[in-house]
Amino acid sequence: MLCLVVNLAAAPDRLAHMARAFARLGLPFERVDGLLGSDLVARSGPHPRLGPGTYGCLASHLAACRRIAESGEPWGAIFEDDLHFSADAARFLRDADWIPAGVDLVKLETFSTVTCLARVAAATVDGHDLKRLLAKHLGGGAYIVSARLAVRLAALDPRGIDVPIDTLLFNPRHLIDPNMVTLQMVPAIAIQEFKLFTPAEVRLASAIEPDRRERRAERYSGLLGRLRGATKSSRDALKRKIREIRQTIELRREDWERTTVPFGPPAD
């Protein structure tokens, strides 16, 4: 399978990390030159809705989709450069013969959150269920995309998209095609470093972290913002419960599954 790693030229440490990860899997990969949001802003002005880091990330993933579309391959896997893989990940990256027919997208990573999955697996491969993803499960660190979807994504203008790449791909409210079929692998075979470790343990800095900090600062500034911050945990719990109730009108409670998989410390 064509495996693409999105990597900024200014992040050789992250590229070295992924080179070691793929070497342990015994698989080749191809680097896709990541696009700096600041460069995009300098050329065409600020994005209407996204911060520079998120803008660059979105454009980089669409460029990776363009590489798949032009390759002539039926499938391609796209990875961000701070991933940690499970020991059996190579089984699913050598080829795509295990992906059921009619599928557009396979999410390989976990964001360590609870989401809603179809009751019955579309397939089970070597202990991993492939279940249709029915609710938001963010994270664009590791996924397999079909050539037909890659063509559609490659044709998009990132300035015309007002959400980050993971929202575009893995939030049913923002899909480019409401009929597309997305499967979640359970247990997942990949996780991003910032989701695996505490902030103090993270070694690979993210280019979109400044955007996250800016959004947090804006959201929680002033008296109202401080109140919002103080009540965030309670509000998040209430929103999760409301979302769960709404979706379980049609789906059994057992459909809610934690998509996480236990990962040990990195070998390097």
Q: For the segment 164-179, what is each residue's pLDDT rounded down to a tens digit?
A: 999 999 998 899 998 8
The whole-number pLDDT of residue 244 equals: 61
pLDDT value for 171? 92
The tens digit of pLDDT for each residue in 211-251 reads: 455 555 556 667 777 777 777 777 777 776 776 665 555 45
Residue 66 contacts by C-beta under 8 Å, 6 or more apart in sequence? 150, 154
pLDDT at position 101, please? 95
Residue 263 CA to residue 25 CA, distance in Å, equals: 15
- pLDDT reported for residue 235: 76
Angle between helices 222-230 and 209-219 (to 10 degrees): 110
C-alpha–C-alpha distance, residues 158 and 50, integer Å:
10
Q: Which helix (H) or strand (E) holds 129?
A: strand 128-132
230: tokens are 């103080």
CA–CA distance, 175 with 168 (Å, rounded to integer) = 6
Nearest residue to 244 (alpha-carbon basis) of 230, 257, 231: 257
Q: Which domains does the chain have, with CATH numbers?
A: 2-205+252-258 (3.90.550)
| Contact by Cβ (8 Å): 128, 59 | no
First-to-final CA distance of the chain: 25
112-135, pLDDT tens digit by residue?
Answer: 888 888 888 999 999 999 999 988
As a whole number of angstroms, the distance between CA 21 and CA 253 comes to 37
For 49-70, the pLDDT digits (tens) are 999 999 999 999 999 999 999 9
Identity at 230, one-letter amino acid code: A
Half-sphere exposure of 197 (CA within 13 A, CB side): 16
| Mean pLDDT in residue range 17-27 | 97
